[in-house]
Amino acid sequence: MKIQFPDLPYAINSLDECIDSQTMDLHYNKHHRGYYEKFITAIEKVNTEEIENLEQLFKNISIYEPSIRNNGGGLYNHSFFWNCMTPDYRDCTGTLRVAIEKKWKTMAGFEKSFSDVASNHFASGWAWLIVDNNRELQIVETANHDNPLMDVCPTKGFPILVLDVWEHAYYLRYKNERSAFINAWWDIVNWKHAEERYATLFK
């Protein structure tokens, strides 16, 4: 398994309406890169010849030492998170919007439910929109750097959208007001990316 540290898909200051550039710089260049480097160190001790990518590794993550689970999750989750945001916002459209409105009645209803999970998550972790193994949309939360691709996650599924609710994601600008960060975050969500993820399952 060969893993590269990913480029940010936009300039570091381009999400400033929600995330200030100092937070982005620390988050990407220090936190994310730190997880990447620790993961590479930990995974070098393991035979991964049969494993092609992180998604495949996560299916049996429970057999590996905690540093592989924690840093591998930190690596994957942040790479996915950057792609869930954009400086060029547009509303959710297409089959994903239809499916969200079928389940939560309105986009506002979905955003309220997702925001409630994200803001009420205890301590560090992540809020996800996934397609579960019954091919249903679900909102789930994970602790630390776990994700719904891992065998240790009680509700597993295919990630469509994620929000990082670790304090390092928002504390410089929003201090203890995680809900204010979440409210602002909806204006930078990359619905195009979410729609493309959803479309790979429902062609």
How far is the C-alpha of 120 from the C-alpha of 182, rounded, in Å?
Answer: 11
- 166 in contact with Fe ion (CB under 5 A): yes
> Considering the complex, what minimum distance in angstroms separates the CB of residue 105 from Fe ion?
31
- 146 in contact with Fe ion (CB under 5 A): no
64-90 CB burial, b ≥16 within 10 A, e <16: beeebbbbbbbbbbbbbbbbbbbeeee
Strand partners, 189: 85
The interface region with Fe ion, picked from 109-117, 152-160, 162-170, 178-186 by CB under 5 A, is 162-170
Cβ proximity to Fe ion, 35 vs 198, nearer residue: 35
Cβ proximity to Fe ion, 141 vs 164, nearer residue: 164
Q: Which residues 121-140 are close enough to bind Fe ion by CB under 5 A?
A: none
In the list 111, 141, 146, 164, the residue contacting Fe ion (rule: CB under 5 A) is 164
How far is the C-alpha of 104 from the C-alpha of 151, rounded, in Å?
Answer: 27
> Considering the complex, what minimum distance in angstroms separates the CB of residue 168 from Fe ion?
5
Please, is 91 exposed, middle or buried when counting C-beta atoms within 10 Å of its C-beta (0-12, 13-18, 19+)? exposed
How far is the C-alpha of 72 from the C-alpha of 190, rounded, in Å?
Answer: 23
How many residues sit in the footprint of Fe ion (CB under 5 A)? Answer: 3
How far is the C-alpha of 54 from the C-alpha of 31, rounded, in Å?
Answer: 18
The interface region with Fe ion, picked from 48-56, 65-73, 98-106, 169-177 by CB under 5 A, is 169-177
> Considering the complex, what minimum distance in angstroms separates the CB of residue 35 from Fe ion?
9
- Residue ranges of E strands in the chain: 125-132, 137-143, 157-164
> Considering the complex, what minimum distance in angstroms separates the CB of residue 124 from Fe ion?
8
Cβ proximity to Fe ion, 85 vs 100, nearer residue: 85
Identify residue 162 by its one-letter amino acid code: V
The interface region with Fe ion, picked from 12-20, 43-51, 83-91, 168-176 by CB under 5 A, is 168-176
Binding residues for Fe ion (CB under 5 A): 164, 166, 169
